[in-house]
Structure 1
Amino acid sequence: MSVSSNTLFRPIKLVFKNFFSNRMPVGASIRFNQRSTYIWPTKVGYLLLAIFLLMMIGSTNYQNNLAFLLTFLLVGIGLVCIVFTFRNLQGIEFALSANEETYAGQPISLWLSLRSYSGREHYSIGVGTNYDNLLFVNVPVTGYSKVKLDVGVAQRGWYPVPRLLASSQFPFGWMRTWAYFGLDKSILVYPQPLEPVLSSRTSGEDDNEEGNKSKGVDDLYGLKPYQEGEPLSRVDWKAYARERGMFVREFTDYQSRQLCFCWDDFPGEEVEKRLSYLTYMVTEAANQQLSYSMKLPNQYFEFDDGEEHCKKCLKALALYGKQQDDKKG
């Protein structure tokens, strides 16, 4: 029976992973110390080490003083390289910058800021989740350097920042220093916005919640079945392509411009579909600077507008049915 290499070395990998995790710094901002930073030769470093040994053997065998001098000179350069490579990763502060709004199903991007507090410049600092996706940047003496990392796709709710890696091979690439670190923050992922079939038809207890309506061309009010003679420019071709029938967009002018988005507007739909529909309607209303309310089971948001109101509604949709952690954010 053949055993794969991954299965064979899995216990060893687990031991190393636990070792690095126990020594990994975690916090809102990270500064490395000697305990959390490691250094090891690269492939080029191993090759040079073998060459140094051969040069030492040759120098000893032939008793050649110039060969000894050259060998010790190269060894001295190698020792200095170890010091410079190790210090290049010391004296940098890593922190998470403000991130863009993220919706489920979209790649999550992290903006990291790197700042030097050592009073010197740091060169060729690689940051990523592993060695395959490192992004390299120079950190100036003053100011910040920013790196954008793509860390995958997540579902709605709180997304914890994964373990990150910082590495450098400056100046000659003979040695590699690295350190793992974790940022004690999470990113709020909103539901994926989906346009409902009756995309902007809102609900309420009476017509006054929606405002006085009159037919016009300003805002999309809903869809109605197509009747012969109506302009084809108003046909919802997306719905027709999905074989949902032929519908015509109906527009309206709002005088009070107040909308109410209700959970019960979509009976029979799954929970995630309802959340996606409400997310779409909230973001569209916010983009048009409309006043709106939102009603969820056991939760109601009064009529309001603005960015803060939009974020409150989106946060409620993102955390609907999930256990909330007061420490997140």
Structure 2
Amino acid sequence: MHRRLGLWLERRLPLQRSVTLNQARIFIVPTLQGGILLLVALLILLLAINFDSALNYALGFWLIAMLWASVHLTYRNLSGLCISGQVGSLVEVGQMAEISLLLSAPRNQNRGPFEVIHKQWGVVSVAMNGPSVTVRLPLLARARGPITAPRFRIESRFPFGLIVAWSNLKIDVQAWAYPLAVQYDRQLAGGGHEAEQNPPNDPFYRAGSEDFHSLRPYVAGDAIHRLHWASFSRDQLVVKAFTDYQSGNDVLDWDQFPGLADEARLSALAYHSQLMTEQHQAYELRLPGTVVCADQGPEQLARVRRALAQFGYD
């Protein structure tokens, strides 16, 4: 039954970026109070017919008229209402993301409170007393990638609470979750055993083979041809350290983490991008099919995190 209802809703109310509610999209039913009032009105009318009482006729028809007015007024709250998705937030996996919906209408009228309902966030109430209002819906980021808004229910019981007008919608809007930052060692181009053992204190240094940089103590495993023989003749066992100099704009590259799975590489890139931002260092991100140009600061970190979140979903 639920599956058939879901398929019917998908056909009747498909996924859209923006939806304007009309007669075909709004459903109306009495609330519990409205149902009781309708039952009381019918009983009074039965008594009026049985005893031919004009006062009972008047009371019964007055109650039915109030219910009819409630139907009209409650329907008017949703009629013409436009619900459109806005840009979702960017959060780390495990945090609460936020999806924003814009509720707007061509006529500026008091439409009262609305309730946006789904089991993921419960009931979110929003009052619309002007031409537009924004409602923010929290969603848990369970995994890296897009966080899509589920099909939800929007309803109104204003003004008397006797009738509920509602619609079941699925809006094309999404937030994004970037991977958890996990520390993994980077394998720099030209890097080797020398850099791992005792790297020189130079921010632009990268172990290599082009230019002589300095002398350092011998470590087991160093190549024999790197020995500084002049020092060896003075009973000093040191080796020559060579370098490849790099620019201040460092590069975070997908290929710097060989042997890791794709998600682990993304987590490593998230960690090092955060580290470079904290160190006020400019850097560039290179992913297969994507390049984020070199820059620094929180804006660069946001661009990198969005690229990591969207990787594989383009």
TM-score, normalization by structure 1 = 0.70
Partner of 1:61: 50
Partner of 2:271: 280
| Pairing 1:314–2:305 present | yes
- Pairwise mapping of residues 154-303 of structure 1 onto structure 2 (< 5 A)? 154-194=142-182, 196=183, 203-205=188-190, 211-212=203-204, 257-286=248-277, 289-296=280-287, 301-303=292-294
The 10-residue stretch of structure 1 (74-83 or 13-22) with the greater mean CA deviation from structure 2? 13-22
* Unmatched runs of 5 consecutive residues or more in structure 1: 1-11, 214-255, 325-329
Aligned length: 266
State the identity as a percent. 25
Structure 2 Cα separation of the partners of residues 67 and 190 of structure 1 = 66
* Deviation at residue 157 of structure 1 after TM alignment: 2.1
The 10-residue stretch of structure 1 (76-85 or 53-62) with the greater mean CA deviation from structure 2? 53-62
* Deviation at residue 312 of structure 1 after TM alignment: 4.5
RMSD (Å), alpha carbons: 3.1
* Deviation at residue 259 of structure 1 after TM alignment: 3.0
* Deviation at residue 165 of structure 1 after TM alignment: 1.8
Structure 1 Cα separation of the partners of residues 260 and 120 of structure 2 = 43
- Pairwise mapping of residues 25-36 of structure 1 onto structure 2 (< 5 A)? 26-36=15-25
Cα 1:261–1:68 change in 2 (3 A) is same
Cα 1:50–1:299 change in 2 (3 A) is closer
* Deviation at residue 30 of structure 1 after TM alignment: 1.9
Cα 1:296–1:110 change in 2 (3 A) is closer
The runs of at least 4 aligned residues of structure 1 exceeding 6 Å deviation read: none
Cα 1:317–1:197 change in 2 (3 A) is closer
Deviations 1:205-259 (A, max 9, x none): 4799x8437xxxxxxxxxxxxxxxxxxxxxxxxxxxxxxxxxxxxxxxxxx7533
User: In structure 2, the residue corresponding to 1:44 is in which secondary structure?
Assistant: helix
| Pairing 1:108–2:97 present | yes
Match of 1:52 among 41, 44, 63: 41
| Pairing 1:77–2:55 present | no
Cα 1:80–1:172 change in 2 (3 A) is same
Structure 1 Cα separation of the partners of residues 118 and 281 of structure 2 = 41
Structure 2 Cα separation of the partners of residues 131 and 274 of structure 1 = 30
Cα 1:55–1:315 change in 2 (3 A) is same
TM-score, normalization by structure 2 = 0.73
